[in-house]
Structure 1
Amino acid sequence: MANSGLRERKKAKTRETILREAFRLFREQGYHATTTEQIAEAAEIAPSTFFRYFPTKEDLVTLDSFPPIVEALAIQPPELDPLGALRAAFATAFTSLSDEQINAGRDREVFAATVPDLIAANLRKSPRIIGEISRILADRTGRAPDDPELRNIIGAAFGVVAMVWIQWARDDTMDAPAEVDNALAHLQSGLKV
């Protein structure tokens, strides 16, 4: 059991090192000019190790899943409505992340919001996470995962979160977790101005 915990911590540290070095190189050289071999060398790992963590360079920057939000949504109290559960899940997910993980998220967003290939890749991958969220909210509400009202709630929530991400990519002083919560609170209030 102790070895399993140590192994998982080492994997997490290796993953964070790969991300940190990749984004450092992306900032210095640009996304397209940086190779996976350069990233592996900077992270002091073999190229084959890089590919065990990230199948492609694109996978450093794109998300086809966000386990913290999915796991956090699954444990929210049943009395919360779908939007309240999503807001609480985002807060819980951010709390579970280290400062280094949050900073890596910002680094990812800078490139995800500014490199056209990555914008398209994230759009291609977003149905997976939206599908996971839809299934959880459908189970919570007794509705079908493709229920139009659930679709609208998820779309609105992820829309305001995406707008925060875009702003965060341009403003490194922003407290993104707090702004996400503020944005979702505003959405819950009916978007009153």
Structure 2
Amino acid sequence: MTAARTTPSAHTPQPGQTGQPGHMAELGLRERKKLKTRIAIREATYRLIEEQGYDATTVEQIAEAAEVSASTVFRYFPTKEDIVLTDEYDPLLEDELRARPADEPIMESLRHVLRRAVVVGFTEEPEVSRLRTRLMVEVPAVRSRMMESMSVTGRMLCRVIAERTGRDAADLEVRVFSMGLIGALTETSAYWAEHGHKDDLGDLVDRTLTTLTTGFASGQG
């Protein structure tokens, strides 16, 4: 989910928190340098977009602001859209789901993990969360790239759900459920942005999961 991709673990550096020695010490020197570069590129991108808009912001400007070369930017992020959308935490969502009790209904596991992700993600980076979802609504290229990114998350969900249910990840039902959830969460992010980020995102996620669980009733909402 764009606005709340996953829940960072206690040992994972947060974007913009490069001064946390306890976190950074967990990584080797090479990894720390790479992470700092990624963070610098992201922060420069967010700042420039806020100042002059998405379309007016070029990779060359981002590179200059981040004090790296344009080729370095492309080495870390294949497209400008990837700078906005990519984070370090996707693998953690899979870990969080696998850490839930094996006998817990999968929808309850998802509710717990996604709700926690929303709270942590928005608390740590509220402006980034708003910017990402606003761009998703306003910029077709960002929305298109986000859909590609979320399809990767959907395939991950297929694996976890298959393990929890004893099904094959390629089964139609598993794929429909997983990708249906991804589509629902994408629309939740869009709804949040289209309504000026006034709603509590965690409550919107709860409503989304409830709709998927109980179905849609005419006249409600």
Q: Which amino acid aligns with 1:31?
A: Y
* Alpha-carbon distance change, 15 to 168 in structure 1, aligned in 2, over 3 angstroms: farther
Corresponding residue SS for 1:182: helix
Residue type of the alignment partner of 1:5:
E
Question: Is residue 63–residue 126 contact of structure 1 (8 Å, CA) maintained in 2?
Answer: no
CA displacement, residues 129-173 of structure 1 (integer Å, 9 cap, x when unaligned): 111110111011110112222223223322321121002223133
Task: Please tell me whether the aligned partners of residues 185 and 208 of structure 2 are also in contact (alpha carbons under 8 angstroms).
Answer: yes
* Residue number in structure 2 paired with 1:130: 154
AA in 2 matched with 1:42? A
TM-score, normalised to structure 1, is 0.78
Is structure 2 residue 127 aligned with structure 1 residue 103? yes
Higher RCO by CA contacts (8 Å cutoff, separation 6 or greater): 2
* Cα drift, residue 44 of structure 1: 4.6
TM-score for the superposition, normalised by structure 2 = 0.70
Q: Percent identity?
A: 35
Give the paired residue count. Answer: 193
Q: Residue 37 and residue 172 in structure 1: after superposition, are their counterparts in 2 closer, same or farther (change >3 A)? A: same
More helix, by proportion: 1
| Superposition deviation, residue 76 in structure 1 | 1.7
Report the AA paired with residue 85 of structure 1: S
Task: Give 1:71 shift.
Answer: 2.5
Question: Structure 2 CA distance, aligned partners of 1:172 and 1:10?
Answer: 34
Partner of 1:77: 101
Per-residue CA shift, 1:93-123, capped at 9, x if unaligned? 3355363435323312221222122222223
Q: Does 1:36 align with 2:66?
A: no
Q: Which runs of 5+ in 1 are unaligned?
A: none
User: Which runs of 5 or more structure 2 residues have no equivalent in the other structure?
Assistant: 1-20
Tell me, in whole angstroms, the C-alpha distance in 2 between the residues paired with 1:14 and 1:178: 35
Compute the RMSD of aligned alpha carbons: 3.2
Distance 1:40 1:100 in 2: 25
* Matches of 1:179 and 1:67, distance apart in 2: 23
